[in-house]
Amino acid sequence: MLLVLNTGSSSIKMALFRPDLEQVLEGQVTAIGGQARLSLGAAKKRLDATSHSAGIAAILDALEDQGITATDITAAAHRVVHGGTALTAPARLDDAAIAAIEANVPLAPLHNPPALAGIRAVTETLPDLPQYASFDTAFHADQPALATTYAIPAAWRAKGLRRYGFHGLSYAGMVAQFGDALPDRLLALHLGAGVSLCAIRDGTSLSTSMGYSPLSGPTMATRSGDIDGMAVLRMAEEIGIAAAGHLLNTDSGLAALGGTPDMRDLLADDSDAARFAVDHFVWSVTHQAGALIADMGGVDAVAFTGGIGEHSEEIRRRIMDRLAWVGPLPVHVIAAEEERQIARDALAVIGREG
């Protein structure tokens, strides 16, 4: 069986898959280093987990309690947010791949270090287990230079300042679920705490709303979305770089406009601030959508995924009302299956390895 891990700074989400991609179990360890808790299937308990290694060990113990031993796990596969320009496809984790992930830490300082911690925790606990990784940036790696290049001096472009795009595992999973029924020109919307849009033409990413980091694009739960660079410099000048980064990533977005990052709460709130926050969200999504439709030269269908995209019929309706100018379109709601996509990626690499 294949163990899929999505490691955060203080959490580990896991799912266990058979080779036919049937999911056997899912679970998570939260609050590592604090009041840690494990949830795996029906099992829920507190943990003394001060590290990711302790969290991985707790997951393996819980699996064994359910009759799944370490020998039943044939490989582990990880989600890594940023692969940079070197890691543009799922890969087996050897020394060179791990070094490349480490080299991309400056591009994703909040995301790649936890992924590395998860990889090292598995190595420490199961040193002989083959490990693989899928990269959130990989789906967008073949976009044309026009879509990825910032108009800045070459010396800065050489430092890796370019558009990368994210949520790639979500979009790749969407393409896989469509299969042969995939529309030629698909406007894909991943609407959750993070929000992005992707123009998918003939199954590949043509352009996307996120750029150098997951900050750009529409209004998000706690991220500002697109903001003029000079406004960012003004904030950094007044409160410092670190504080400005925190403000833009964790104190902005719906939380700043409506008082809460939760779309369900905003939709249930009749205050002016809540209504404006929802209106701003819908406006910002459709504002980006118009550009991506232009990039594709039109659109054949729209697909929603992510927590809001899957579960809020009202938000989907309001977005489609603002896109009525393109004419009637098929609208699909696709479950986000990032863990299954990671498993699919790893199994494909394993198959190529023979």
Q: Which of 40-49, 98-107, 171-180 has the lowest mean pLDDT?
A: 40-49
Torsion of CA 216, 218, 220, 225, to 10 degrees: 40
Which pLDDT band holds residue 7 (cuts at 50, 70, 90)?
confident
Q: Dihedrals φ, ψ of 2, to 5°?
A: -110, 125
Distance CA 153, CA 147 (A): 17
pLDDT digits (tens, 9 = 90+) for 283-327: 999 999 999 999 999 999 999 999 999 999 999 999 999 999 999
Which pLDDT band holds residue 342 (cuts at 50, 70, 90)?
very high
Q: Which residues contact 156 (CB under 8 A, 6 or more apart)?
A: 150
> Mean of the per-residue pLDDT values for the chain?
94
Phi-psi region of 233 (alpha: psi -120 to 50; beta: other; left: phi over 0): alpha
The residues annotated as belonging to the active site are: 136
Q: What is the mean pLDDT of residues 209-232?
A: 96
Q: Is the pLDDT of residue 147 over 80?
A: yes
User: 2-135 is classed in which CATH architecture?
Assistant: 2-Layer Sandwich (3.30)
Which pLDDT band holds residue 53 (cuts at 50, 70, 90)?
confident
pLDDT digits (tens, 9 = 90+) for 54-68: 888 888 888 988 899
Q: Is the pLDDT of residue 33 over 90?
A: no
What pLDDT is recorded for position 297? 98
Distance of CA 116 to the CA centre of its chain: 16
Q: Is the pLDDT of residue 263 over 90?
A: yes
User: 168-338 is classed in which CATH architecture?
Assistant: 2-Layer Sandwich (3.30)
pLDDT digits (tens, 9 = 90+) for 67-125: 999 899 999 999 999 999 999 999 999 999 999 999 999 888 878 988 998 999 899 88
Distance CA 28, CA 190 (A): 23
Beta bridge partners of 38: 29, 45
Would you kindly state where each structural domain of the chain is located, as residue ranges?
2-135, 168-338
Tell me how far CA of residue 70 lies from CA of 66, 73, 127, in angstroms. Answer: 12, 5, 11
SS3 label, residue 77: strand
Q: What is the mean pLDDT of residues 47-53?
A: 85
Q: Is the pLDDT of residue 197 over 90?
A: yes
Sign of CA dihedral 222, 111, 137, 38: negative
Which uninterrupted H or E stretch holds 84? none
Q: Is the pLDDT of residue 228 over 90?
A: yes
What pLDDT is recorded for position 125? 87
The end-to-end CA distance of the chain, in Å, is: 16
Q: What angle do CA 316, 288, 262 make, to 5 degrees?
A: 50
